Structure 1
């Protein structure tokens, strides 16, 4: 729990009474219905029944609702413990009341660890309002989602090499389709989160400085970038699949073309062999001493001539 006042950030114990001046950030772990026990005296935070259930819902989509007492936001951040083949997000609840911002995150979610350390060390400026604090926190969450781009790009680049490598058949279709589905879901989530920010800004009753207005617009642009990247990767996966099957189709056509050429070459040879195999009394070359050798040479010459003609016309 941090208290921002007089240009600095100080920690305070949950047993201390909530400061009446400055900006207060209560960073709580959503471990169960007893999460309110972490609140300091004087916080006077009473949630509506539906919001109480929403706090504990780990699958809750992005959401915003304004009440007379507080603003309620649900924002989904990147789950750093998930595999890049199946990236997941987890919800963070934001409650704004007067000069206080409460964040409720899952156990093990360390999204704000570095930001908290920087504030306490005095490395960065401190927020001067609840809206400014909310922007800083949301910016960290969105930066975590932006960080997903590089590992996904590397993964798709590796899959592209494998899909086009005929010596190493690609068999990870389930992982590829799972990633595509997750990216499609992420794109929809970013659109919902953008709506959350826009709705909150429209209904916010506090003062917005011009600088803060610009920073929130930048935040919205970052959210759009995450959604755009997810959509681009969906298209990249679709293109990879199409290229893979096109390459396989081309290879199959080449094999069938080769087999058709071989069949076309051997068909006249079979005709020639069948002709000399007819059991008539008088056949050319049969009475000659070198008739068999001459017949064999005719077959070979005909085969070579057909092969040369097919090669010249690029039929094989």
Structure 2
């Protein structure tokens, strides 16, 4: 099936054989082996078969099939059901892709199910198979290896968003009254909030996996490794919070600079309006058609008034220029 990426049995830290789905129940009956099954976007029929082979709870199967779950960890008897969000950066269009990965962890099996995710776990499987001394600790180590790989993919995405934030800050102080900057800030902030929503529950998930009540699903030696994922999750959330604060400051700076620029425009309009008001006022006075106006019959009245208007306008222009209104 195209939905089955890989299915194999392991014993003593070594790969034994590839398995068909219908043969899994026979391997699960052996105490010295465990099964690692990887699925991608399985259909309902495959999920039903999965439920029968591993004895999974129907509610967990329903969640795993429908996807669109929040990151969480739930216990169904002696089986753990874990949901994580996988984040990747599409280098072709610089877009952030968010997929979903589900895990079923039993005492002698691990099932990983990917939904709408471009990440592959081929490298993870190879790395696990090259460390037999850890792989022999059971499926708990496999769960750690996959979770660690997923969390590591968060950092390039956050670094990319931080670079976008730096570019926005440069644009804020380099350009004037660019409405696209405010829009881009809100878009970037929405992406950070979305990543925060999927990364924050990782702290609780790792805390529960490190607790002693996960025996015997996770070997005590492997529980220490989940502390590393916990540290990464805390660091990721701190980076997101810092970026959000920086975005808020950038938005405030952009709004302040926009307000200052608009005030500068208003001052220029006011200055030019005052200058234009001089000839308008003089034209209004001499356009009232009074009969007895001494300047009307003066030979030099027109050039005198004209030079007076020009001179007064030049004085106002000098004053506003000195005051940096123009």
Shorter-chain-normalised TM-score: which range?
Answer: 0.7 to 0.9
Q: What residue in structure 2 maps to residue 226 of structure 1?
A: 236
Partner of 2:42: 31
Find the partner of 1:306 among 295, 316, 319: 316
1:103 CA drift (Å):
1.3
Instruction: Single out whichever of 281-290 and 244-253 deviates more from structure 2.
Output: 281-290
The answer (yes or no) to whether the contact 2:275–2:317 under 8 Å persists in 1 is: yes
Question: Could you tell me which residue of structure 2 aligns to residue 93 of structure 1?
Answer: 102
State the distance in 2 between where 1:82 and 1:63 align: 29
Pairing of 1:202-213 with structure 2 (within 5 A): 202=211, 203-206=213-216, 208-209=219-220, 212-213=222-223
- Say if 1:97 and 1:124 are closer, same or farther in 2 by CA, change over 3 A: closer
Query: What residue ranges of structure 1 are gaps of 5+ in the alignment?
Result: none
Partner SS for 2:111: strand
Which of 248, 252, 263 in structure 1 is aligned with 2:262? 252
Structure-1 residue corresponding to 2:210: 201
Q: Which residue of 2 aligns with 1:186?
A: 195
Deviations 1:176-222 (A, max 9, x none): 5454334213213222222122123333123654x644432221121
Q: 1:12 aligns with which of 2, 15, 18?
A: 18
The structure whose RCO (Cα within 8 Å, separation 6+) is larger is 1
Structure 2 unaligned runs (5+)? Answer: 1-6
SS of residue paired to 1:147: helix
Task: Tell me which moved more, 83-92 or 140-149.
Answer: 83-92
2-structure distance, mates of 1:55, 1:267: 75
TM-fit CA distance, 1:48: 1.6
- 1:45 aligns with 54
- Shift in Å at residue 138 of structure 1? 0.7
CA deviation profile, 1:157-180 (whole Å, cap 9, x unmatched)? 444455556479444876654543
What's the CA shift string for 1:235-255, capped at 9, x where partnerless? 344334333333332222111
- TM-score normalised over the length of structure 2: 0.79
Which residue is equivalent to 2:154? 145
1:296 aligns with 2:302: no
Q: Is residue 138 of structure 2 the alignment partner of residue 127 of structure 1?
A: no
Contact 1:111 1:141 in 2 (8 A): no
1:109–1:304: structure 2 CA closer, same or farther, 3 Å change rule? closer
- Whether the 8 Å contact between 1:86 and 1:178 is mirrored in structure 2 is no
* Pairwise CA distance, 1:23: 4.7
> Closer, same or farther in 2 for the Cα pair 1:284/1:21, shift >3 Å?
same
SS at match of 1:133: helix
Match for residue 217 of structure 1? Answer: 227
CA-atom RMSD in angstroms: 3.5
- Displacement of 1:277 in angstroms is 4.5
Q: Are 1:61 and 2:67 an aligned pair?
A: no
TM-score by length of structure 1 reads 0.81
Aligned residues: 312
Instruction: Give 1:287 deviation, angstroms.
Output: 3.7
Residue 105 of structure 1 corresponds to which residue in structure 2? 114
Distance 1:175 1:315 in 2: 31
Q: Is the 8 A contact 1:84 1:152 kept in 2?
A: no
**1:3–1:9 Cα contact (<8 Å) kept:** yes
1:155 matched to 2:155: no
